[in-house]
């Protein structure tokens, strides 16, 4: 609340010099009651989880907190209600915002203060008219105080929200700078590695053409070609990750894409010895997807599942529809992940595999984000992993 509003508030509530005098005259006779009211307020704070933990974290002793509350109550009666007073009260609102006390709690706490002060005035040996006037002054100052606390509470709260937003923006910026760097690196790599690699691969194949079919050096050549393929895959993953293409989305059957991925992976050696289960793949659910990108997601996840199974075990692929969500689940009975691995699985370049790029899941996440969908995983070390992929269905 800007300071001029404090003056305006006082005049709106009709807070006069007579009220100031009334309150100041109450300070001494109520002095004996202040500690008791502070205790009630302290107990109320202790009963609220946010307040309790904020007090605990501040490290202040109970006696200290209670005397702070008592000082604040005395200040309420003593004034003077000038700018300096206002500034002090402003800080109280900010403290409450920092404690994350909800607004309704603040209103309830001020209600307690009001009732306790009014009761205390009621017990004083005063002429009824005088009593009534003093009770009115108490009402006025409690209302003013509540308004000031609320306003600054809101300010403090808004400040906290702005702070969080600033941090998020900074983080995004860092992330996109990071991506821009990888993007440049990937482009350089593509140029420096991909093209020579294609050349080497071609040359080797020419040489291999001259070898007789039973030449023992064929194995060596095949190994070289396999390694070249792997390097090529790494560079390709890096390019996909660093230079994502916006999806070209169309209404498409989800099950059909999953089927296609499974069919294409049938020959993949990683799947040897693994029992595959398919559930609900003919389920009639359509979504707005880029079929080739979505297929890449399913393929990456299936490959991870197979690699985790290490040539034995089971993989279950299930498609289901849950209201407006199409859900593909890929569960494997492989080695699972530790908690730390699961937390880092979507980090670019995080891999536990000798030949991994650590880009499979980050690419999946990028694609699912671009599809307004999501991908998450549940894993238990030694038991297996379930990856859940969700998409909004098209109605």
Interacting residues toward ligand ADP by CB under 6 A: 300, 304-305, 308, 332, 334-337, 341, 345, 350-353, 356-362, 385
Helix (H, G, I), strand (E, B) or coil at 374: strand
CB of 259 to ligand ADP, least distance (A): 20
N-terminal to C-terminal alpha carbon distance within the chain: 49
Helix 62-78 and helix 17-46: axis angle, to 10°?
160
Q: How many C-beta neighbours within 10 Å does residue 177 have? A: 10
- Residues 127-149: b if buried by 16+ CB within 10 A, e if exposed: eeeebeebbbbbebbbbbbbbbb
Name the one range near Mg ion by CB under 5 A: 57-65, 107-115, 297-305, 322-330: 297-305
Nearest residue to ligand ADP, scored by beta-carbon proximity: 360
CB of 240 to ligand ADP, least distance (A): 12
Residue number, 160 or 236, with CB nearest to Mg ion: 236
What share of residues in the chain are helix, strand, coil (percent, to 5)?
Answer: 65, 10, 20
Segment 355-374, which members bind Mg ion (CB under 5 A)?
A: 360
- Asked whether the beta carbons of 366 and 239 are under 8 A apart, the reply is no
CB of 304 to ligand ADP, least distance (A): 3
Residue 341: contacted member of ligand ADP, Mg ion, none (CB under 5 to 8 Å, by partner type): ligand ADP
**Nearest to 75, CA basis, from 3, 145, 4, 149:** 145
CB of 362 to ligand ADP, least distance (A): 6
Residue number, 352 or 378, with CB nearest to Mg ion: 352
- Asked whether the beta carbons of 257 and 296 are under 8 A apart, the reply is no
Residues 6+ apart with CB under 8 A from 21: none
Nearest residue to Mg ion, scored by beta-carbon proximity: 360
Residue number, 72 or 350, with CB nearest to ligand ADP: 350
CB of 237 to Mg ion, least distance (A): 9
CB of 385 to ligand ADP, least distance (A): 4
User: Which stretches of 76-141 are assigned E, i.e. beta strand?
Assistant: none
Q: Give the CA distances from residue 364 to residues 6, 272, 384, in Å, rounded to whole numbers and listed in that order.
A: 55, 24, 19
Residue number, 287 or 363, with CB nearest to Mg ion: 363
Residue number, 146 or 299, with CB nearest to ligand ADP: 299
Q: How many C-beta neighbours within 10 Å does residue 55 have? A: 19
- Calpha distance 186→212 (Å, rounded): 39
Residue 373: contacted member of ligand ADP, Mg ion, none (CB under 5 to 8 Å, by partner type): none
CB of 370 to ligand ADP, least distance (A): 17
Residue 85: contacted member of ligand ADP, Mg ion, none (CB under 5 to 8 Å, by partner type): none
Beta bridge partners of 277: 316
**Nearest to 103, CA basis, from 135, 175, 69, 151:** 151
Residue number, 151 or 341, with CB nearest to ligand ADP: 341
- Asked whether the beta carbons of 110 and 149 are under 8 A apart, the reply is yes
Residue number, 81 or 241, with CB nearest to ligand ADP: 241
Task: State the binding string over 330-349 for Mg ion (x if CB under 5 A, else -).
Answer: --------------------
Residue 30: contacted member of ligand ADP, Mg ion, none (CB under 5 to 8 Å, by partner type): none
Burial (CB count <10 Å: 0-12, 13-18, 19+), residue 199: exposed
Phi, psi of 314 (to 5 degrees): -130, 150
CB of 353 to ligand ADP, least distance (A): 4
Tell me which of 137, 304, 379, 385 binds Mg ion, using CB under 5 A. Answer: 304
CB of 220 to ligand ADP, least distance (A): 26
CB of 265 to ligand ADP, least distance (A): 14
Residues 6+ apart with CB under 8 A from 380: 336
Residue number, 152 or 296, with CB nearest to ligand ADP: 296
Residue number, 85 or 350, with CB nearest to Mg ion: 350
**How many residues lie near Mg ion (CB under 5 A)?**
2
Residue 390: contacted member of ligand ADP, Mg ion, none (CB under 5 to 8 Å, by partner type): none
Residue number, 74 or 377, with CB nearest to ligand ADP: 377
**Site residues (CB under 5 A) for Mg ion?**
304, 360
């Amino acid at each position: 609340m800007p300071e001029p509003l404090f003056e305006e508030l006082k005049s709106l509530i009709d807070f006069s010099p007579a009220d100031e005098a009334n309150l100041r005259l109450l300070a001494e006779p109520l002095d004996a009651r202040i500690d008791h009211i502070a205790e009630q307020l302290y107990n109320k704070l202790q009963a609220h989880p946010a307040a309790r933990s904020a007090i605990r974290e501040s490290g202040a002793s109970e006696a200290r907190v209670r005397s702070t509350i008592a000082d604040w109550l005395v200040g309420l009666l003593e004034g003077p209600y000038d700018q300096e007073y206002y500034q002090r009260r402003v800080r109280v609102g900010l403290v409450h915002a920092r404690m994350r006390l909800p607004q309704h709690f603040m209103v309830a706490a001020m209600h307690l203060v009001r009732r306790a002060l009014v009761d205390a005035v009621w017990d004083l040996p005063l002429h009824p008219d005088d009593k009534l006037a003093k009770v009115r002054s108490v009402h006025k100052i409690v209302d003013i105080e509540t308004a000031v606390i609320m306003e600054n509470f809101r300010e403090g709260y808004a400040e906290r929200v702005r702070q969080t937003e600033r941090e998020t923006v900074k983080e995004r910026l860092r992330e996109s700078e990071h991506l821009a760097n990888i993007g440049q690196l990937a482009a350089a790599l593509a140029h420096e590695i991909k093209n020579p690699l294609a050349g080497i691969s071609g040359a080797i194949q020419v040489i291999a053409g001259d070898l007789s079919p039973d030449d023992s050096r064929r194995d060596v050549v095949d190994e070289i070609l396999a390694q070249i393929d792997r390097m090529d895959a790494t560079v390709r993953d890096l390019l996909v990750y660093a230079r994502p293409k916006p999806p070209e989305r169309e209404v498409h059957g989800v099950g059909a894409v999953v089927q296609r991925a499974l069919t294409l992976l049938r020959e993949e050696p990683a799947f040897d010895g693994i029992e595959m289960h398919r559930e609900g793949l003919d389920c009639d659910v359509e979504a707005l997807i880029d079929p080739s990108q979505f297929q890449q997601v399913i393929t990456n996840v299936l490959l991870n599942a197979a690699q985790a199974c290490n040539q034995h075990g089971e993989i279950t692929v299930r498609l289901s529809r849950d209201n407006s969500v199409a859900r593909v689940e890929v569960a494997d009975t492989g080695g699972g992940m530790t908690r730390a691995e699961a937390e880092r699985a979507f980090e670019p370049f995080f891999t536990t595999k000798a030949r991994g790029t650590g880009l499979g899941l980050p690419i999946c996440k990028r694609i699912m984000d671009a599809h307004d969908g999501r991908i998450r995983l549940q894993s238990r070390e030694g038991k297996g992993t379930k990856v859940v992929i969700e998409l909004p269905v098209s109605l």
